[in-house]
Amino acid sequence: MPERTVTVLGIETSCDETAAAVLRLTNGKSEILGETVRSQTEAHAPYGGVVPEIAARAHADLADFSVARAMEMAGIGYDGLDGVAATSGPGLIGGVLVGLMTGKAVAQAADIPFIPINHLEGHALSPRLTEDCSFPYLLLLVSGGHCQFLEVRGLGDYTRLGTTIDDAAGEAFDKTAKKLGLGFPGGPAVERIAETGNPSAVDLPRPLLNRPGLDMSFAGLKTAVARAADEGADPADLCASFQAAVCDVLAEKTRRALEQTEQKRLVVAGGVAANKAIRAALDAIAEAAGARLIAPPLRYCTDNAAMIALAGAERLAAGLAPADGLVVRARPRWPLDEVSAMQNPAYGGGKRGAKA
Ligand code: KG4
Ligand code: ZN
């Protein structure tokens, strides 16, 4: 079979990272030729969370520069691209629009296909950036905006097995940190302080743990943490107890998901996957189930454009890029598995708009 190579520019702007990457896919093997991720953490830090308007402005300021930088690193001209992929949802609509318009403009100017990508598909495929991770596998996506189990059977073939019915786990970390005045983003700060605390000191709920199924909930835990803080709980003990509660929920739901799907590969992605206690808990669960835990390097666990470029390249190579990419609109909500989402229309509230 002749070698098939596609080179794709990817753009990601759906939350608070402005990212661009150039990726070359040759017979299923990917090579990142250039990539840049600009985080807006400092701009949002005073507010203890991502402010959509600030994010949109920052993306507008940085998008062109990011694309130019990724192209420069790749050392190719626009005529060296076979397609442009950009996140077109779900996410904060202002930011999504910036990336989408930038991507469409480049595609139109270079007269190449534009491939709109679901941000969740990017995360779902992210282990394939660095690992020989063939389909199928079970994915736990756990970040500030998402917390869900996906069975990834192939390109474009995903089933959502369960999701948070309210907040994402990362959001609970961020809110805990905000309550305790630990700064933003909260996850790393909570993890650091938890190391010196007693995980059984504060009695916290494990929402939905004893209910069947793979759905999760973190809003009640967040409220319980706030109450314990108001009642004067020691911050280190509270962080340790909170982290233990999140670990217990994720571990038990993951155990069930592995049992239900009989998958032998468990991929964990999203910013919360950086948490060492959570990783250790998932590792133990995977081992007990005879499965392997695959955790992409942190820079590909969190939001990045390489995963968007990969999704675009895989779609282009497989003939799965839409013919009408240029007319696709930005979607604040866009479940990866529309069938499961339709069956559970109650899911998906919240200001980050990306939980569906
Ligand atoms: O994937 P990500 O960079 O962005 C999206 O939310 O899409 O994830 C960021 C989230 C934040 O909520 C942050 O607090 C959390 O991941 N996080 C952590 C850790 N590092 C980042 N949560 C727990 N422990 C960590 N070490
Ligand atoms: Zn993400």
Pocket test for ligand 1, best of 13, 171, 282, 302 (most atoms within 8 A of CB): 302
**92 pLDDT higher than 60:** yes
Pairing of β 5-12 and β 29-39:
unpaired
Average pLDDT of every residue of the chain: 93
Q: How many domains does the chain have?
A: 2
Contacts (Cβ under 8 Å, ≥6 apart) of 1: none
**φ, ψ dihedrals at 253, nearest 5°:** -65, -35
Whether residue 136 is preceded by a cis peptide bond, meaning omega within 30 degrees of 0, is yes
Nearest to 269 by CA among 248, 285, 290, 250: 250
236 & 312 share domain: no
Amino acid 3: pLDDT: 65
251 & 281 share domain: yes
Domain termination site, one of 247, 276, 295: 295
Q: Which residue has the tokens 């990539």?
A: 35
35 & 18 share domain: yes
Four-point Cα dihedral 281, 282, 288, 289, nearest 10: 160
Neighbour order of strands in the sheet with 157-163: 157-163, 147-154, 137-142, 265-269, 292-294
Q: Which domain holds residue 193?
A: 135-295
231 & 105 share domain: no
Pocket test for ligand 1, best of 92, 119, 173, 307 (most atoms within 8 A of CB): 173
Amino acid 2: pLDDT: 55
147 & 277 share domain: yes
Amino acid 47: pLDDT: 86
- The closest ligand to the CA of 308 turns out to be 2
Report d(CA 275, CA 267) in Å as an integer: 14
**314 pLDDT higher than 60:** yes
151 & 170 share domain: yes
**1 pLDDT higher than 60:** no
**217 pLDDT higher than 70:** yes
**338 pLDDT higher than 90:** no
Amino acid 354: pLDDT: 38
Pocket test for ligand 1, best of 92, 143, 250, 276 (most atoms within 8 A of CB): 143
Amino acid 131: pLDDT: 92
Per-residue DSSP letter, 164: B
- The closest residue, in CA terms, to atom 19 on ligand 1 is 187
Domain termination site, one of 276, 295, 314: 295
**348 pLDDT higher than 60:** no
| Average pLDDT of span 193-202 | 98
Report d(CA 318, CA 175) in Å as an integer: 42
40 & 143 share domain: no
Q: Is the CB of 147 under 6 A from ligand 1?
A: no
Q: Is the CB of 91 under 6 A from ligand 1?
A: no
Domain termination site, one of 295, 311, 339: 295
Residues 37 and 3 sit within 8 Å (Cβ to Cβ): no
Tens digits of residue pLDDT in 51-77: 999 999 999 999 999 999 999 999 999
112 & 141 share domain: no
Residues 179 and 226 sit within 8 Å (Cβ to Cβ): yes
- Give the nearest ligand 1 atom to 168 CA: 12
Report d(CA 7, CA 306) in Å as an integer: 12
- The closest ligand to the CA of 143 turns out to be 1
Amino acid 72: pLDDT: 98
283 & 313 share domain: no
Tens digits of residue pLDDT in 263-273: 999 999 999 99
264 & 165 share domain: yes
Q: Is the CB of 332 under 6 A from ligand 1?
A: no
- Ligand 1 centroid from CA 125, angstroms: 19
| Average pLDDT of span 296-320 | 95
Report d(CA 185, CA 181) in Å as an integer: 11
Q: Which residues of 102-135 are buried (b: 16+ CB within 10 A; e: fewer)?
A: bbbebbeebebbbbbbbbbbbbbbbbbbeeebee
Whichever domain contains 157, its CATH number is 3.30.420.40
Tens digits of residue pLDDT in 94-104: 999 999 999 99
164 & 262 share domain: yes
275 & 329 share domain: no
**345 pLDDT higher than 90:** no
Tens digits of residue pLDDT in 135-163: 999 999 999 989 999 999 999 999 999 99
